[in-house]
Amino acid sequence: MDGAELCFPHLLNASCRRSEPLRAEAVLMYFLLLSVCALTAVLNLLVIISISHFRQLHSPANLLLLSLAVSDFFVGLLVNPIEILMTWTCWVLGDLMCALYYLLPLTLIAASVGSMVLISMDRYVAICDPLRYSTRVTGKVVTVGISVCWTCSVLYSIFLVYDHLKEPGRYNSCYGECVVNVAGDVDLVFAFIIPITVILALSMRVFVVAVTQARAMRSLVTAVAVQCPMTLTAKKSELKAARTLGVIVAVFLICYCPYYCLNLTGGNILIGSSTEAFMSFLMYFNSCLNPVVYTFCYPWFRKAVKHIVTLQILQPGSCEANIL
């Protein structure tokens, strides 16, 4: 091989080959992918700013959305761009940094899935046990839940790549490559089957209760509107939140199922391969779709974005603005 085509020309017998120069179609594809990365980071940053800045949005339910937005933000800001660069450039940071790098996407994906479980649990209590919701789901309880979720995500990712941290580069076929091997069965059970089972079970229960409540509301809407208008508004808000949860769960399944269905057929997935890269991009695309769902389902998010874009949040007292 020509030394100029190698990632490390001085390692003639061990270096990986550099990718060929990109064609116009490939350049366009990479541009579109990087645009999606930028859009993912921007949209989730808007969610983070909205919930963090406006006091009306400081609710336990929105703290869970904030946790999901933080993980999605770093997926768009760091993970996706690095994954794109790794598909056509050499890895020059060494084997140890390769193993350490994969702690990031594994942690963020686990935290995203964990946040989805917590959101489903929150909606379950809000819809199925509304009288005790305010006492059972408090800001302190949610904060502890989020902390446990992120701590477990970090420990879980360390467990998955522990062998690679002890012996970096064990699955690399040449210098300039960055691949790790994740125990497919373990990841499948703990990162997909168990969380998805919990999410679907809670969501189905929420759906059944929400349908029952919707029918009751339609039959009593006139009486409730006259006697207890605030109760009617609260019920509508909870039912809309339940529908939003259904949309988020559906998008989540569409983006995550292909990766783990491939996992089911193969047992182990070689992270860093082209097949894994495509499935990962589809999974990461969920991080871009979540705030899009908020835009269409949450009026408060559209109002908050308007305040942010027009720089009204820079005005004194803007955090007290009426967003809901």
Residue 46, beta-bridge partner list? none
Statement: residue 227 has pLDDT above 70? no
Establish if 255 belongs to a structural domain: yes
Establish if 6 belongs to a structural domain: no
Which of 45-59, 166-180, 268-282: highest mean pLDDT? 45-59
Question: Which has the minimum average pLDDT: 84-88, 265-269, 317-321?
Answer: 265-269
Number of domains composing the chain: 1
- Per residue in 15-72, pLDDT (tens digit) is 787 766 667 777 888 888 889 999 999 999 999 999 999 999 999 989 999 999 999 9
pLDDT at 225: 47
Judged on CB neighbours under 10 Å (0-12, 13-18, 19+), 42 is middle
Establish if 133 belongs to a structural domain: yes
- Per residue in 175-189, pLDDT (tens digit) is 888 888 776 677 778
pTM for the model: 0.84
Which of 191, 186, 197, 185 is closest to 266 using CA atoms? 185
- The pLDDT-based confidence of 3 (bands split at 50, 70, 90) is very low
Establish if 16 belongs to a structural domain: no
Which CATH number is 282's domain given? 1.20.1070.10
pLDDT at 142: 95
Establish if 12 belongs to a structural domain: no
pLDDT at 182: 72
Residue numbers of the domain that contains 277: 23-320
Establish if 4 belongs to a structural domain: no
Residues 6+ apart with CB under 8 A from 305: 46, 50, 295
Statement: residue 235 has pLDDT above 60? no
Looking at per-residue pLDDT, the higher value among 322 and 150 belongs to: 150
